Amino acid sequence: MKRSYDYKISVIVPVYKVEDYLNRCLDSIMLQTYKNLEIILVDDGSDDNCPAMCDELAIKDPRIKVIHQENKGLAGARNAGIKAATGDFIAFVDSDDYINHGMFEDMMEQIIAHDADIAMCDIKYVFDGNYPVEANIDKNGPEVEVIDGHQAQFFMCRTLRDRILFTVAWNKLYKRELFDGITYPEGRIHEDEARTHELLYKAERIVYVKSPLYFYFQREDSIVGADVSLKRLNLIDAFDDRLRFYRKKKEYKLWEMEAVHAMRTAVTMQNEFEEKGMKVDFGKQSAIKKLCKEVGKYRSIKGLERKVAMEILFFKASYKSYYAIWKTHRLYGFI
């Protein structure tokens, strides 16, 4: 039986215009107490000092590999890293974030202890970066919860916090073979929401480490933190991806829950756009049209609640009327 350090972890770091944060991120990875790492830096066509910084870091640490490519976005950078990875496990760290020095050791120990396919941890939102990243020194070990891939789908539907924890790509350690046949959709944001459910579904066991080992840095110019734009509708595309996946897997209850969240997220998003002065005819957007088409398949969903079927019919028949009524009742989705 292998010991924890016998497994190599490929840590994939997409890099794009983050020269002010890159060293902090890479320091937190290179100083991991778990040493058997392959650190793959994917320079995604960055036009600042990041390409040179990546090359310099590779000289200092032989575990670092650098890929330089034309800009393909976060999904394209992750796909390139996955293709180049040679590790037994894969992890992602966004280059403006950073991690606890003991993150990979703690997570790998739990994977071995529970024979898990995925480990995931809590996250901590940070705004100025002044948080410690030292190794976990809890002698009793972290609190953990073990679930399977099917349970994980329902956990995603519980609260907004759980939706974030379970759908983001970067607070997890995955067996590499889980990515067989799965790539992130390039040219879209919210790409992890569109694929993480498939990775979780494949897992026989997932160990959830209830310690905030990943530091999620909030900056105003980040992709999802920027002003509203039509790219935000890629979140509706991600809902559509999940709905089609659940329907094909005959996971009817999950389909029903996601359909409700998707419709209510669409109108919540439109309201946010309007509050920020951006007038968009949501009913004519391709993401909304695709969602209408998918929820229109409700007749094939076994055991669908009558009230959900009525809500779907209303949404599909007149999105504008659905939105008008939502503004009165404010039944929110996961946005």
Distance CA 157, CA 146 (A): 17
- What dihedral angle (degrees, nearest 10) is formed by the CA atoms of 269, 274, 276, 281? 80
- Range in 237-241, 316-320, 324-328 with the lowest mean pLDDT: 324-328
Q: What are the pLDDT digits (tens) for 261-301? A: 999 999 999 999 998 888 889 989 999 999 999 999 999 99
d(CA 77, CA 291): 27
- The CB density around residue 285, as the number of other CB atoms within 10 Å, is 17
For residue 330, pLDDT over 70 is answered with: yes
Which pLDDT band, with edges at 50, 70 and 90, does 128 fall under?
Answer: confident
Report how far residue 232's alpha carbon sits from residue 230's, in angstroms, rounded to the nearest whole number. Answer: 5
Average pLDDT, the chain: 92
Rounded Cα distance, 120 and 263, in Å: 28
- Per residue, what are the HEC states of 89-138? EEEECCCCCEECCCHHHHHHHHHHHHCCCEEEEEEEEECCCCCCCCCCCC
pLDDT category of residue 234 using cuts at 50, 70 and 90: very high
Amino acid identity of residue 86, one-letter, is T
Map out the domains of the chain as residue ranges.
4-217, 230-329
Q: How far is 283 from 40, CA to CA, in rounded Å?
A: 41
Residue 1 has pLDDT above 60, yes or no: no
Question: Which residues share a beta bridge with 145?
Answer: 208
Q: What is the pLDDT of residue 335?
A: 54
Retrieve residue 248's tokens.
């094909």
| In the predicted structure, residue 4 carries a pLDDT above the cut 80 | no
164 phi and psi, to 5 degrees? -65, -50
- Helix %, strand %, coil % for the chain, to 5? 45, 15, 35
Say if CB 200 and CB 112 are below 8 A apart.
no
Q: What is the pLDDT of residue 145?
A: 96
**pLDDT score of 130 more than 90:** no
The CA distance from 178 to 197, in Å, is 11
**What DSSP assignment string belongs to 215-267?**
EEE--TTSTTTSSP-GGGGHHHHHHHHHHHHHHHTT-HHHHHHHHHHHHHHHH
pLDDT computed for residue 82 by the predictor? 98
Mean pLDDT score, 180-201 = 96
Instruction: Choose the most confident range, by mean pLDDT, from 1-10, 24-33, 322-331.
Output: 24-33
Average pLDDT of the residues in 30-53: 97
Q: What is the Cα–Cα distance from 179 to 37, expressed in whole angstroms?
A: 18
Is the per-residue pLDDT at 168 higher than 90? yes
> 142: left (phi > 0), else alpha (psi -120 to 50), else beta?
beta
- The rounded percent of the chain whose pLDDT value lies above 70 is 91
- Pair 200, 206: CB distance under 8 Å: yes
> Cα dihedral sign for 298, 303, 304, 307?
positive
Contact 36, 7 (CB under 8 A): yes
pLDDT of residue 226: 47
Tens-place pLDDT, residues 132-162: 666 555 656 789 999 999 999 999 988 889 9
pLDDT at 131: 60
Fold of the domain spanning 4-217: Spore Coat Polysaccharide Biosynthesis Protein SpsA; Chain A (3.90.550)
Whole-model pTM: value is 0.93
